[in-house]
């Protein structure tokens, strides 16, 4: 009796689809046991999740979904699971008793690459490091005295912006206010850092 030729089986599309189907069924069985205690969720589409159910007026769409599924609702916005809380009592419970579980920010590859592996104030995970960075920021950057020391920078940049707008309007040129405001805020931040 001849042994099964593995190369023949692995190139057979029927065999490969059977292996794929079995692995998918095993994964679904394991995932079902893992996620049993989740809040109710409306049916979702495979890739976009529940994004199609959040319409042009998201607050109204979320209200309608919470009326149908309850005050605690799990939505999948693309790949990200999102908990929607529409009850004051539930929100109070989360903020008072479960704040540590909900205080972390999502950690992604993009954030790790762009923001020095989540070491900044905005993306650092909640803990002792985040508390120290926050304390240092409040004392060194955001104190009343420190903010007032940058007032002359803000005054100069706003005055320069007004002069640019005045010159452009006198010459009849179009004004890109978005670009100008972005430039002014960038100038204020960079000058404050070097001060």
The two tokens of residue 166 are 């005045």
Q: Is residue 138 part of a domain?
A: no
* Residue 32 resides in a domain: yes
pLDDT digits (tens, 9 = 90+) for 134-183: 998 888 888 888 888 889 999 999 999 999 999 999 999 999 999 999 99
Q: Is the pLDDT of residue 6 over 60?
A: no
Residue written as tokens 């079995």? Answer: 22
CA-wise closest residue to 129 among 99, 110, 101, 104: 104
Q: CB within 8 A of 15, min separation 6: which ones? A: 9
Paired tokens of 132: 């120290």
Asked whether residue 77 is assigned to any structural domain, the reply reads: yes
Q: Which residues pair with 76 in a beta bridge?
A: 81
73-109 pLDDT per residue, tens: 999 988 888 889 988 998 898 888 888 777 777 778 8
- Does an H or E element contain 82, and which? strand 80-85
Q: pLDDT tens digits, residue range 26-36?
A: 777 766 655 56
Residue 16 domain flag: yes
81 and 91, same domain (yes or no): yes
**Residue 123 placed within a domain:** no
Does a structural domain hold residue 113? no
Q: What pTM did the predictor assign?
A: 0.51
Instruction: For residues 36 and 30, give the distance between their C-alpha atoms in angstroms, rounded to a whole number.
Output: 11
Is there a single domain that holds both residue 63 and residue 30?
A: no
Exposed (0-12), middle (13-18) or buried (19+): which is 1, by Cβ within 10 Å? exposed
Domain around 11: 1-37
Same domain, 50 and 99: yes
Q: Is 118 inside any structural domain?
A: no
Query: Does one domain contain both 44 and 28?
Result: no
2 and 50 fall within a common domain: no
CA neighbor of 50 nearest in space, from 28, 29, 72, 79: 79
189 neighbors 153 (Cβ within 8 angstroms): no
* DSSP symbol at 195: -
For the record, the structure tokens of 92 come out as: 């109070």
DSSP assignment letter at 52: G
DSSP code for 49: B
H or E element that contains 146: helix 144-149
Q: Do 96 and 103 contact (CB within 8 A), yes or no?
A: no
Confirm whether 130 is domain-assigned: no
């Amino acid at each position: 009796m001849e042994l099964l030729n593995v190369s023949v089986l692995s190139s057979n599309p029927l065999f490969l689809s059977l292996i794929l189907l079995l692995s998918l069924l095993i994964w679904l069985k394991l995932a079902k046991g893992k996620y049993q205690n989740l809040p109710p969720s409306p049916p979702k589409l495979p890739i976009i999740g529940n994004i199609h159910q959040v319409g042009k007026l998201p607050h109204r769409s979320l209200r309608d979904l919470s009326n149908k599924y309850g005050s605690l609702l799990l939505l999948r916005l693309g790949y990200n699971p999102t908990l929607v809380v529409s009850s004051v009592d539930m929100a109070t419970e989360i903020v008072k008793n479960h704040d540590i579980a909900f205080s972390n920010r999502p950690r992604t590859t993009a954030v790790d690459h762009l923001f020095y592996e989540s070491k900044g104030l905005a993306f650092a995970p909640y803990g002792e490091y985040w508390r120290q960075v926050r304390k240092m920021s409040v004392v060194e950057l955001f104190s009343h005295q420190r903010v007032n020391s940058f007032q002359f920078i803000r005054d100069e940049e706003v005055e320069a912006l007004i002069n640019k707008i005045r010159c452009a309007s006198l010459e009849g040129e179009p004004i890109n206010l978005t670009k100008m405001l972005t430039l002014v805020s960038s100038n204020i931040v960079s000058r404050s850092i070097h001060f």
